[in-house]
């Protein structure tokens, strides 16, 4: 089964309901506005990573923020607000990808492999040790993530933005469970090349899930 076909198989559900956390008004509208602007760079980064389109990312984030401000009285805490904002941005991103899927080839969503390597290199200092801001952190509650439909939407988006060859090798290894030897032979790649591609895929997906799910979720409680 081809990758796009696989994605289409589990058709994405309609808009999910917004988390229902109604608390007494603990914060003023002004502090909410400040909080929301504080999240803006993070939201933009997430949307840009998924869409590879600055204008569309800006639109998605702007719409999410406007929607959040309209429903602001429903939120009493900072973490609920952050989770909600990310939820809205995810929906906007998914809507956009669906829309684009009808008019543009899937290949136009692909990230160049060189771009991925550049993004990975940027996580390190000159000496090839983690830069303090991008040092990986353990992912909390993976079991809980697996049970949430929204998590799978993020996962699908992260897969969708991988370059075709990267995604193909990753899926042969992790989805189909083939050994690397077999993958190299089938695709006529050297073992070293296969390893590089698998590392690129894992590093990229790790980064995407950290930003799109596990990082956003950390503030939930």
Where does this chain bind other proteins (CB under 8 A)? 121, 124, 127-130, 135-139, 142, 145-146, 152, 155, 170, 173-177, 179-180, 195, 198-199, 202-203, 205-206, 209-210
* Beta carbon of residue 35, minimum distance to other proteins (angstroms, whole number): 27
Residue number, 38 or 136, with CB nearest to other proteins = 136
Residue number, 67 or 164, with CB nearest to other proteins = 164
Residue number, 80 or 205, with CB nearest to other proteins = 205
Cβ neighbours of residue 90 under 8 Å, at least 6 residues apart? 150, 153, 154, 157, 212
* Beta carbon of residue 181, minimum distance to other proteins (angstroms, whole number): 9
* Beta carbon of residue 164, minimum distance to other proteins (angstroms, whole number): 17
* Beta carbon of residue 101, minimum distance to other proteins (angstroms, whole number): 19
> Which tokens belong to 147?
């049970």
Residue number, 79 or 210, with CB nearest to other proteins = 210
Residue number, 42 or 195, with CB nearest to other proteins = 195
Half-sphere exposure of 139 (CA within 13 A, CB side): 16
> Which tokens belong to 59?
């639109």
Start-to-end CA distance of the chain, whole Å, equals: 39
Cβ neighbours of residue 73 under 8 Å, at least 6 residues apart? 25
Q: What is the distance between the alpha carbons of residues 94 and 12, in angstroms, rounded to a whole number?
A: 9
> Which tokens belong to 88?
């809205």
What are the Cα distances from residue 61, in Å, to 56, 126, 140, 199? 9, 33, 25, 31
* Beta carbon of residue 212, minimum distance to other proteins (angstroms, whole number): 13
Contact in structure between 35 and 78 (CB atoms under 8 Å): yes
Cβ neighbours of residue 129 under 8 Å, at least 6 residues apart? none
* Beta carbon of residue 125, minimum distance to other proteins (angstroms, whole number): 9
Residue number, 80 or 145, with CB nearest to other proteins = 145
């Amino acid at each position: 089964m081809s990758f796009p076909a696989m994605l289409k198989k589990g058709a994405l559900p309609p808009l999910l309901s917004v988390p229902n956390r109604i608390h007494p008004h603990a914060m003023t509208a002004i502090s909410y506005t400040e909080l929301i602007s504080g999240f803006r760079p993070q939201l933009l980064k997430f949307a840009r990573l998924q869409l590879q389109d600055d204008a569309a990312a800006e639109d998605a984030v702007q719409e999410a923020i406007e929607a959040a401000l309209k429903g602001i009285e429903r939120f009493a805490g900072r973490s609920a607000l952050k989770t909600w904002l990310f939820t809205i941005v995810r929906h906007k991103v998914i809507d956009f990808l669906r829309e684009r899927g009808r008019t543009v080839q899937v290949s136009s969503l692909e990230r160049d492999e060189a771009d991925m390597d550049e993004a990975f290199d940027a996580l390190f200092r000159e000496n090839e040790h983690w830069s303090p801001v991008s040092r990986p952190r353990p992912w909390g509650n993976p079991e809980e993530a697996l049970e949430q439909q929204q998590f799978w939407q993020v996962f699908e988006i992260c897969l969708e933005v991988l370059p075709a060859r990267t995604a193909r090798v990753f899926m042969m290894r992790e989805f189909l469970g083939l050994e690397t030897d077999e993958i190299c032979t089938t695709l006529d790649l050297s073992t070293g090349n296969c390893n590089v591609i698998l590392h690129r895929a894992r590093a990229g997906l790790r980064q995407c899930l950290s930003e799109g799910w596990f990082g956003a979720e950390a503030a939930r409680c």
